[in-house]
Amino acid sequence: MRLLIIDDSETSRLLLKTVLHAEGFGGAEDAEGFAAALALLDRTPEQELPDVILMDLEMPDANGIDATRQLKSKPRYTDIPVIMVTASDRLEDLEGAFAAGANDYITKPVHRVELCARVGSAQRLKQEMDQRKIRELELERMTRELEALSSLDGLTGVANRRHFDSTLAQEWQRCARDQAPLSLLMIDIDFFKRYNDALGHLEGDKCLKAVAHAIQNAFRRPADFLARFGGEEFIALLPDTDMEGGCRLARAIQNQLATLAMPHPDSSISDHVTVSIGVAATVPLPGAESSPLVAASDKALYKAKKAGRDQIINAEGQPCPPESS
C-alpha cells in the first residue's frame, strides 16, 4: 500500500508515518505542504501513485479544502481517497472538506485505532474503485469487440450488409456536402452455385473468402470499402471516385482474380473463378436517396451477367473500356 502524508509539520508527518508503519501500513511518503506534494505527485508514474492521501486541513501554503478540490479536479488524481486530518471541530470545515471531494476525516490528536480504521477503509475503497475501473475497461473492450463482430460478415471477415448501409449513408452525406463523386461496384461470382454443387459448401466458403481477399487486394485507398451484399455478391463503395475510376478498379479486381487463378470445375466461360461487375457512379445531391445508386449498380451487374459473365458493365449499359483505352 502506498500512502502520501501532506502536512507542514514535520512532527505530525513523522507521528503518522510511525503509527502507520507499526500497524503494517508501509510505503508512506510525506510532503511538507501542498506545493511540495503536488510536485511529487506530478512526477510520479501513474502506476506508483498513492492509494490514500492524508492531508492536513490548515497549511501555510494552502487550505486543505482548496488543495483537495484542486487535486480532485485532475482526472489523474480523482480516484485517490483523501482523508482530511484536522484539529478543527467546526461543522462548516467538515462540510467544506467533503464538498471538495474528501472521503473521510481524522481529528487531532490522532488516535491509533481510529487512524488505522479510517486508512484501512480508504484503502478498501481505492481497491474497489480500481476493480471497478478494470471491469469498466474490460466491458468497453468487449463492447468494441461485439460492435466489430456485429458489423462484419462472419465468413469472409469483410463488412456485412448492415455495416455497408450505415457507411453508405455517411459517405453519401459527405459527398453530397462536398459535391464529390461516389461509385459502387456490385460484384457477383460467376457460376458459384455450380462451384458449390461440384465441390461442396466447405470449398464454396473457401472460394468466398479468397474472392473477398482478392477484391481487397485491388483496393489502393483506405477509404475504399468492401461488404458482402448477400450470397455470392459483394459490393464495393468508392468515395471520391467517378465512373472512370470505378471501372478502373473493377478491371483491377478482375486482374487480381486472374492472378489468383482459383480453379472452377464447372464454369462455362473459364477454367478458373471469375466475377461479373456492375459499376454505377453519381455526385449525390443534398436530400436525395442513395437507393437508386445501389439499384443502378445491381442493374448493371444483371446486364454484365446477361452479356456472358466475366464482364464489367456500367450503369449506362455499356462495357467499361479496357485500361489501355
For residue 219, give every residue at least 6 positions away whose Cβ sits within 8 Å of its Cβ, in sequence order, or none: 226, 236, 249
For residue 176, give every residue at least 6 positions away whose Cβ sits within 8 Å of its Cβ, in sequence order, or none: 284, 285, 286, 287, 288
- 232 labelled catalytic: yes
What the block records as the C-alpha cell of 45 is: 508514474
| Chain position carrying cell 483496393 | 219
Compute the distance between CA of residue 54 and CA of residue 31 in angstroms, rounded to an integer. Answer: 10
Compute the distance between CA of residue 101 and CA of residue 104 in angstroms, rounded to an integer. Answer: 9
> How would you classify the pairing of strands 3-6 and 52-56?
parallel
Burial class (CB in 10 A: 0-12, 13-18, 19+), 135: exposed
What the block records as the C-alpha cell of 31 is: 510532503
Count the Cβ atoms, other than its own, within 10 Å of residue 106.
Answer: 18
Question: Which residue in 136, 232, 289, 323 is the catalytic one?
Answer: 232
DSSP state of 266: T
Omega within 30 of 0 (cis) for the link into 284 = no
Name residue 4's amino acid.
L
Q: Which residues are catalytic?
A: 232
